[in-house]
Amino acid sequence: MKRFFVWTALLAAFSLLLSACGGGASGSHLDQIKQAGVIKVGTSADYPPFEFVDANGNKTGFDIDLMEEIGKRLGVKVEWVDMPFDSLIAGVQEGKIDISISAFNYSEERDQVVDFSDAYYTGEDAFLVAESFSGAFASPEDAANYKVGVQTGTTQDSWLTDTLVAEGKLPEANLFRYDRADQAALDLKNGRIDVMMADAIPAKALAQQVGGLKIVYTGVLSSGPMNIVLPQGDAELAKAINDVLKQLKDEGFIDALAVKYFAE
């Protein structure tokens, strides 16, 4: 009888220890997010007007406002994690962040390791040059004649690599990759590179923000529908976010954000 009570006491103590260490956590990823009341969202806040830091040091932009509203409708607070763009996919894979929103475009390569929400916006690509640029730029392939800057890990990076570098049109040494888009824009203004490729809307915003820059080409090359990056196979979280995105589209919330951030 004594042994029975000792064993029961040991089991009870072990259960308490597991609970104290979080070993008793259960439920889906979405359940855990809701229980915590927080969703960790990765972004690279250097891409106006989608995500950037304002004069007061606050994150703002189209993606930021959109995600804050999604968090509100999921009943959780958004905890922002600012990371280099090319670290965001790995951050979702490794569970350092729950999801990521940062003007992401779908690609087959990315789809091998993460999932994507339904599209919330469709964009174009653009090439930026200094206002003093006097070269010829009639087509995107003309970029091969210059020193080109791009943000690392973007679909524009992939387009330049696959279409120009891999085909022997653009020397690898003339492709300059940057952790931040604003760094590339500043180097463009200061003459360290000749051309910069980016999403069209952020390119326009950077031209206004940095000054002394202009757009010489706009079109769909690597861009297209933008999506939120989700953990692979997390169907419940994907459904919850897609349901909210549909609500926001139907209510006109996303159209209103576009007017707010993208209007001429």
> Are residue 96 and residue 160 in the same domain, yes or no?
no
pLDDT for 205 equals 87
Evaluate whether residue 147 is within a structural domain: yes
- Identify the pLDDT of residue 123: 82
pLDDT for the residue 158: 93
Same domain, yes or no, for 214 and 133? yes
Q: Are 233 and 181 part of one and the same domain?
A: no
pTM confidence score: 0.71
Q: Supply the pLDDT for residue 83.
A: 96
Q: What is the pLDDT of residue 201?
A: 86
SS3 20: helix
Domain count, the chain: 2
* Rounded distance between C-alpha atoms, residue 208 and residue 213, angstroms: 8
Assess whether 237 and 203 both reside in one domain: no
**Residue 263: per-residue pLDDT:** 60
Residue 4 lies in a domain: no
Residue 222's pLDDT is 87
Q: Are 79 and 37 in contact (CB under 8 A)?
A: no
Q: For residue 258, what pLDDT is reported?
A: 87
Following DSSP, what letter does each residue of 153-176 receive, concatenated? Answer: TSHHHHHIIIIIITTTSS-GGGEE
CATH code of the domain covering residue 256: 3.40.190.10
Instruction: Provide the β-strand partners of residue 196.
Output: 128, 149
Domain match, 44 and 162 both: no
Q: What is the mean pLDDT of each run of 10 residues along the chain (264 residues)?
A: 38 43 66 97 94 96 98 98 96 98 92 96 92 94 97 93 97 96 96 95 89 95 91 98 97 89 68
Domain residue limits at 203: 125-219
The predicted structure's pLDDT at residue 113? 96
